[in-house]
Amino acid sequence: MSTVNSPTSVWVRRPARWVITRRSYAAATRSRGGGRLGRVPELPEVETIRRDLEPLVLGRTVAGVEVDPGTIDLLTDLPIDGLRAGLVGRRFVSLGRRGKYLLFGMDDGRTFVTHLRMTGRLVWREADDPAIDYERGRIALDGGHELRWSDLRKFGTWDIVEDTAEVVGKLGPEPLDEEFTAAFLRKLLAGRTAPVKAVLLDQRRIAGLGNIYVDEALYQARIRPDTAAGEVSRGAAARLHVACREVLERGIENRGASFSDYVDARGEEGRQHMYVQVFRRDGKPCYACGAEIVRSVVGGRGTHFCPRCQRRPRRRRSATS
């Protein structure tokens, strides 16, 4: 099951949003040739931060909120005073996760929602610790500790919502949820002409998977990423179902992958990047067969695979056949 531990959503109105962004996130982060300037933290990274912070923030009351003056002009809809009014004096009663969102449940029934986007970091510090690199904001808690927000490219988001469904309600099930079964995945892939990788990356269909773990899951399942989803056989879909779950479990066990900006809530790098099979290993030999790992572009995303282990299907077969 997913790790959404916040109270059941029963609210009906969503207040304005505080968004740290100046231009289109998707456009700004896309580089030539389908590459990315950075890597968005995925389910294992966000879950690692959640597990780190949960025992530290539960029961704590917000004592103050600070935002870097150079960031204030990036706020939209909700002014900094409105953000302070929504947080100061509130006590955190739960910390959940849905997809790549962190959900801080508060004692007034509302939820403080954060998304790291590409370069966001959320770390736990003593109040008198020096500022961290690219620090944009602080949430001071009782007891002399702070949540520090660092964001080089300023794409991260902070929301205060009454109804979490308006933020995460359109997300699909997560691969670690009970409802993510082999039958569910076969049905999702069946009849679709889009590349299987693009389908797996669609957060409305499956939440939490991103570029690294999709590449790794497709490699483990021996499926070429640009294969049309509807051409994935029943057997391959079964392998993919297992692979999606296992790559995420390994990622969580290894505290996430630190290819670029990701650090955990303690400010430390994860270990999963040391164990990847294909992601960002283009030009290097496949661990299984020795063939050179290839980098291509699938659905506008940089993609890594082994051309020998992940061959195109010999014949078209539906995932439901």
User: Given 41, 44, 173, 225, which residue is catalytic?
Assistant: 41
Task: Tell me the whole-structure pTM to 2 decimals.
Answer: 0.83
Domain that holds residue 114: 17-168
**60 within some domain:** yes
User: Given 39, 50, 100, 154, which residue is catalytic?
Assistant: 100
161 and 202 inside one domain: no
220 and 143 inside one domain: no
136 and 188 inside one domain: no
Task: Give me the DSSP letters along 46-62.
Answer: HHHHHHHHHHHHTT-BE
242: amino acid identity, one letter: V
Predicted local confidence at residue 20, as pLDDT? 31
**pLDDT per residue rounded down to tens, the chain (321 residues):** 444 333 222 222 233 333 333 233 333 333 333 444 456 789 999 999 999 999 999 999 999 998 876 664 444 456 777 788 999 999 999 999 999 999 999 999 999 999 988 888 999 999 999 988 888 889 999 999 999 998 888 888 888 889 999 889 999 999 999 999 999 999 999 999 999 999 999 999 999 999 999 999 999 999 999 999 999 999 999 999 999 999 999 999 999 999 877 899 999 988 999 999 999 999 999 999 999 999 999 999 999 999 999 998 876 555 555
Question: 143, 168, 193 — which closes off a domain?
Answer: 168
User: Given 39, 42, 45, 173, which residue is catalytic?
Assistant: 42
Task: Give me the DSSP letters along 243-293.
Answer: HHHHHHHHHHHTT---SSS---TTS---SGGGG-SSTT-TTSBPTTT-PBP
Calpha distance 133→108 (Å, rounded) = 33
Is 66 annotated in the active site? no
Is 41 annotated in the active site? yes
CATH number at residue 158: 3.20.190.10
**310 within some domain:** no
Question: 123, 142, 168 — which closes off a domain?
Answer: 168
Is 268 annotated in the active site? no
Calpha distance 98→114 (Å, rounded) = 11
Predicted local confidence at residue 279, as pLDDT? 96
CA angle 202, 207, 208 (to 5 degrees): 110
Is 301 annotated in the active site? yes
151 and 190 inside one domain: no
